[in-house]
Amino acid sequence: MTRPCPESVDVVIVGSGPTGAAYARILSERAPDATVALFEAGPALTDPPGMHVKNIAGDDARRAAQRRSEGLRPHTSLTPSPYADPARRLQRPGTHLLPDGYQAPGEDGLPALAMSTNVGGMGAHWTGACPRPGYGERIAFLPDLDELLDEAERLLEVDRHPFAGAPYTDVVRSRLASAFDPGRAPGRRVQPMPLAVHRRPDGALVWTGPDVVFGPTTRNNPNFRLYPDSPVRRVLVSSDGRVEGVRVGDHDVRARFVVVAADAVRTPQLLFASGVRLPALGRYLNDQPQTVFAVRLRDVPPPADISETGGIVGQSGVGWVPYTDEKPFHGQVMQLDASPIPLVGDDEPAPGTIVGLGWFCGKDLQASDRIAFSDTELDDYGMPKPSIHYTLTERDHASLAAARTEIMRAASALGEFIGDRPLVLAPGASLHYQGTTRMGPADDGTSVCGPTSEVWGVTGLYVAGNNVIPTPIACNPTLTSVALAVAGARDIASRLVLENAASAATGGDRA
């Protein structure tokens, strides 16, 4: 049953993905007396809310949950597709595309840009990869970044060796290491990909969704409430630049602090709709250019035992070729297909021997790559209609060419090619959109928020998500965005404690 909307709370969180969940968890731990309301535009798919769909038992139930995540134009199990040119506009279960406005004339655009609308957001559908940023990916003005990443690993329950002992893991890693490790610093050599997973006592793999981030601490917090199917239309800001709450439908909820964690499109959209229109809002849009390839491992024996583990058959594991400044790419190597399908030659490959390679590039950041919002047109949800302006620069094309060379090196080391050459995916396919409410060390017009994620010029308003990351990060960004959310949540918790103490000392009312 839908709960009645509250009149006032201490903190409103908009969006229930990994970063919104991180705010709720840290506040529940550090300021348990604070009242917190989390509003999500989409439905709750699971009990507990925010569970990863890979953990749902049964294909039909999983597909039903994915379809419910696909907004107002669901596509799972629909034929024909409701979208034009599906070869360019990738339609992945659990996500929905911009119906239009994704490519301006003469620009590359982001034809594959996708979102999820459900409790848990895209965190209910993600791959769980949690590498740490390195070198130029790191945020130089955050001296405590490593400690924040440690805390993010705790919330996401990251396992740094999730497939230790899998039959082909050592083969894949040693072959990649021979090709890539020479000259690399110890921490940036080929290694297992840290994954947000844990194993049950029976050995089955459980994928981290925002339900894990919320954890029992948040779910058992009597001062926390989750409101699904409750889209927020406005952030309420006073004339003197202080957040006052949010508008949910036609109801105003007063709040001392508001956190907008609604993804890289809808977070700047909500700020724009609320009159918070900083110069950098929506700008420095960063989608990681991506190239992919596949191989069949050569000269490996059939595995002695095959066991399903939460959607991946753990034969080759997931390998990681980290970013360096000399090789500014992030390589992810994981099993693609464990079924005995004759993809190469006439022989049936042993399960687990088909390995996919994905190389992500850091974008050449430019302010002109942006999401613009209309003052006159509305989208399907009644919000300012977004349009994408996005162009790959000469530097981006050079980076992609170099990444293709690197992925061919990796493929040559591993086995027999499947296909003739690496495929460059359509812009937007990475799902790793960043920068649209980027963080900065100073309010100089090139950022939307400061080092604690508080929006410049609006006291008490915070932003969260991959969109806060300001660097041309090439690795999977969720761990970093959760780390930034930890810092923001700690800041709010500290301010709540201080404000409440001051109010108590003067006999005031904290509301």
Q: Which residues are catalytic?
A: 432
Instruction: Give the position of tokens 């996708």.
Output: 114
Residue carrying the six token digits 């927020």: 232
- How many Å apart are CA 249 and CA 232, to the nearest integer? 7
Residues with Cβ within 8 Å of 153's Cβ and at least 6 positions away in sequence, in order, are: 130, 194, 479
DSSP code of residue 4: P
DSSP, residue by residue, 216-241:
HHHHT-TTEEEESS--EEEEEE-TTS
Measured CA to CA, the distance from residue 468 to residue 261 in angstroms comes to 10
What does the DSSP assignment read for 460-486?
TEEE-SGGG--S---S--HHHHHHHHH
Tokens of 280: 């950098």
How far apart CA 29 and CA 219 sit, in angstroms, is 11
Distances (CA, A) of 170 to 31, 199, 214: 45, 21, 34
Nearest partner of 487 among 35, 249, 152, judged by Cα = 152
φ/ψ of 245, rounded to 5, equals 150, -155
What are the structure tokens assigned to 440, written together? 């900065």
279 burial class (0-12, 13-18, 19+ CB within 10 angstroms)?
middle
In the block, which residue shows the tokens 């396919």? Answer: 429
- Tokens representing residue 48 in the block: 């507990």
